[in-house]
Amino acid sequence: MRRRGDLATKTCLACGLEFAWRKKWARDWDQVKYCSERCRRNKPGTLDPRGADA
């Protein structure tokens, strides 16, 4: 078993926080860009769905 500090990390494109590798991302770690579903939905450069300026 590996310690959390030994896992690969990336920086989230939406919030800028660093996140660690997860087993569920094992097959597509190269394509993972966001730390969570919330960040994926709120990608930078997208308009607010309610029509308000972000």
The domain locations on the chain are: 4-41
Confidence of residue 43 (pLDDT cuts 50, 70, 90): confident
Instruction: Give the Cα separation of 28 and 25 in Å (integer).
Output: 6
Confidence of residue 20 (pLDDT cuts 50, 70, 90): very high
Confidence of residue 53 (pLDDT cuts 50, 70, 90): low
Q: Is the pLDDT reported for residue 48 higher than 80? A: no
Question: What's phi and psi for 18, nearest 5 deg?
Answer: -85, 135
Q: 33-52: b or e for each residue (b if 16 or more CB lie within 10 Å)?
A: ebbeeebeeeeeeeeeeeee
Confidence of residue 50 (pLDDT cuts 50, 70, 90): low
